[in-house]
Amino acid sequence: MEFNTYTLPNGIRCIHKQVRSAVVHCALTINTGSRDELPGEEGMAHLVEHTIFKGTERRKAWQVNCRLENMGGELNAFTTKEETVIHTTTLRSDYAKAVELIADIVFRSTFPEQEIEKEKQVIFDEINLYKDSPTERIYDEFEDMVFAGSSLGHNILGSKATLRKLHSEDIRRFITRTYTTDQMVFSVIGNVSTNAFEQSVMKFFGDIPASVRDFKRHTAPGLAPFDKCIGRNTHQVHCIMGGRAYDMKDDCKRLPLLLFINTLGGPSANSLLNVLLREKNALSYGVEASYTPFTDSGIASIYFSCEKENEERCRILIRRQLDELISSNLSPRRMSVAKKQFLGQLAISAESNENYMFGAAKSFLVFGAVDSFPAIKEKISAVSADDIRTAATEIFSDMSVLTYR
């Protein structure tokens, strides 16, 4: 393993990699996201992420914000469907200050009611911004339909109506239920020795009482494919198609699907759909394919936007491309390119120590291990053309569709 690992007596797992760098990245990854909200709590995980910065037993909100920023460092956080991540970037000399600050805001926040009400207004503005962006909103609505009947479906921001009803006692109750020490990984990448790393996590996290999660996530029930159109009065048509996909623990199918999605509509300009819709036919500026695996499910989709009169032609071309990929295996040359391209993108992404840390922490949280690049390369090399064709067939033969017009 490329990371040193260390588990505190309270169950918080820690991973560390020493690299030559002037800066140090730290993050506390908590296995709590919007899917862990109870009915009536929609938006709670994201609200917590915002309000942990609003004062602790030791600091006022302005002191939290200035602690690292005054020294040129950064403190930030984000929420997903399954995780909340609080992270810092500082100079090496300020590393200990970053660890102490993360521990302070996560475990000693006071959630003043006045600050919560102010922060709700900020989130309301974020919700309005999101509603004005059909390219983002359509993904959330599609997931809500694909995972109907499950907390995995609803969007991370929640609604204004629900958020208005949430107060400091609700936040504390949510944290007590979900922010348990057995569901946390603290990660560090930077020029910090193993000894300094272990001393710092013991000093700042070691006295946190142990706690264990007492609930399990429920897998979303299945549903029949749908084809739905919603009037949004947009200048363009926005369309997304796809459905349920493999969970992150299903390596045998997840990796072939990742390769397929990357070849079909990944970030490279030579992806099949970009060449087909944009380069050859000039029908769409924005077309992409994506795959998001969760711990017990996943979602794969194809998105495009275009002029309204071009919608049907785009759909036909995409379906034709999918049928071609489903009916026959990728050629040996295309397979070689797909694997080299994916591994190259992965290696370039890993050059960002911060991104590498986020991915490693997530892997350690779910699997208790972090694959080295050679191990990943070996797994990708073992994927066959039959594996990719099977994944494409299972996921994209019968798709759900959501359209904004």
**φ, ψ of residue 317 in degrees (nearest 5):** -65, -40
Segment holding 79, helix H or strand E: strand 74-79
Cβ atoms of 37 and 238 within 8 Å: the answer is no
pLDDT for 155-167, tens place per residue?
A: 999 999 999 999 9
Distance CA 392, CA 328 (A): 11
- Strand pairing report for 84-91 and 74-79: antiparallel
Dmax (CA) for the chain in angstroms is 64
The residues spanned by each domain of the chain are: 4-205, 227-404
Fold of 227-404: Cytochrome Bc1 Complex; Chain A, domain 1 (3.30.830)
High-pLDDT (> 70) share of the chain, %: 100
pLDDT bracket for residue 219 (50, 70, 90): confident
Q: What is the mean pLDDT of residues 93-106?
A: 97
pLDDT bin (cut points 50, 70, 90) of residue 222 is confident
Q: Which residues contact 359 (CB under 8 A, 6 or more apart)?
A: 350
Q: What is the pLDDT of residues 9-24, one digit of tens each?
A: 999 999 999 999 999 9
Name the DSSP letter for residue 92. Answer: G
What letter represents residue 15's amino acid?
A: I
Kindly write down the DSSP assignment for every residue of 109-137, as one continuous string.
B---HHHHHHHHHHHHHHHHHHHT-HHHH
Question: pTM of the full predicted structure?
Answer: 0.94
Average pLDDT over residues 291-311: 96
Side chain identity at 52, as an amino acid letter? I
Q: Tell me: pLDDT of 1 over 80.
A: no
Query: 4-205 and 227-404: same fold?
Result: yes
Taking residues 325-346, report their average pLDDT. 95
Please state, rounded to an integer, the average pLDDT across all residues of the chain: 95
CATH number of 4-205: 3.30.830.10
- Quickly count: other Cβ atoms within 10 Å of residue 330's Cβ: 20
Which candidate, 216, 208, 215, 228, places its Cα nearest to that of 144? Answer: 228
